[in-house]
Amino acid sequence: MYKWIGLLLMFFSFTVNGQELNCNVKVNYQMITDANPQIFKTLEHALNDLMNNTRWTSRNFGRSERIDCTMIFTISAYDSNAFSATLQVQSSRPVFNSTYSSPVFNFNDKDISFRYTEGENLIYNPNSADSNLMALVSFYANVIIGLDADTFQKNGGTKYYEAAQNMASLAQGGNYKGWSQQESGNQNRYFLINNLMSNTFTPFREALYSYHFLALDKMADNQKEAKEKAVVALKELSQLHSVRPNSLLMRVFFDAKADEVVGMFSSGPQVTITGLVDVLNRISPLNGSKWSNIK
């Protein structure tokens, strides 16, 4: 009996104390032809180990709660342990009572650089940007967790965004691109996390919750009613557009959601979508060709 109790306690401890992310990290080095490929393979292995075996927060995650995500580093230049690359970050979350996984985050960081020495230990320290590589992956790990939390609870991601914002502040001292508001445009990490933390962009975060928890998660119960709630959630985003047209977060939302929105309203029970296509064309005009498929 005591043996079974011990095993049960071990299982329970393992279940509730698991790491937050189920992350697939890829390092694409096809453009590099004059370097030993082993350095890129070692980097890929180290990043997978870091992302999947680090506890990024104090929150307890069960194995089934781990957030599915991917990071794809495409190396464009390499010299003496100095890397230049782009980074594609994606995450998704399961929809209640279904086998469907809904995309939440799809972001292309186009200009990153870092140094990495083969065999270097990668260890997360929330109070230090020990390298730009660690700052990058730590930042996106917390953004992913924050966005996921926002889809389950209204404004549930705040403390994870705070951790990401702290890392962004620490990383500014390294003079690497992507962390400063002085850079041209408003598409970098600085603006991403500061927008997420700004009260101005509260409608974006509220729409994440309404769209996922109040709409998608109710599809199995009543698909027509859930789609009607999705319409409401999408129209909520027009509030943000009226204040900050063409914002980074609007692009972030529809880079992940455009195809899903079209699919949702192109099949299944019909709902009243009066004005929805007009709203979508206004707040996300780059996806206009997709919105024309909504019937």
d(CA 204, CA 237): 6
pLDDT, position 59: 83
d(CA 74, CA 156): 32
**DSSP states along 53-121:** H---SSS-B-GGGPEEEEEEEEEEEEETTEEEEEEEEEEEEEPTTSS-EEEEEEEEEEEEEEE--TT--
**pLDDT digit string, tens, across residues 199-227:** 999 999 999 999 999 999 999 999 999 99
d(CA 94, CA 3): 35
Size (the chain), residues: 295
User: Strand order of the sheet with strand 82-94?
Assistant: 21-28, 67-79, 82-94, 101-115
pLDDT, position 18: 57
pLDDT, position 205: 96
pLDDT, position 273: 85
pLDDT, position 63: 78
Q: Which residues of the chain have pLDDT under 50?
A: 1-16
Largest CA distance in the chain: 66
Please, what is the angle between helix 276-283 and helix 223-243, to 10°? 40
**pLDDT digit string, tens, across residues 3-34:** 444 443 344 433 445 589 999 999 999 999 99
pLDDT, position 17: 52
Radius of gyration of the chain (CA): 21
By the 8 A CB rule, do 56 and 124 touch? yes
pLDDT, position 9: 39
pLDDT, position 14: 39
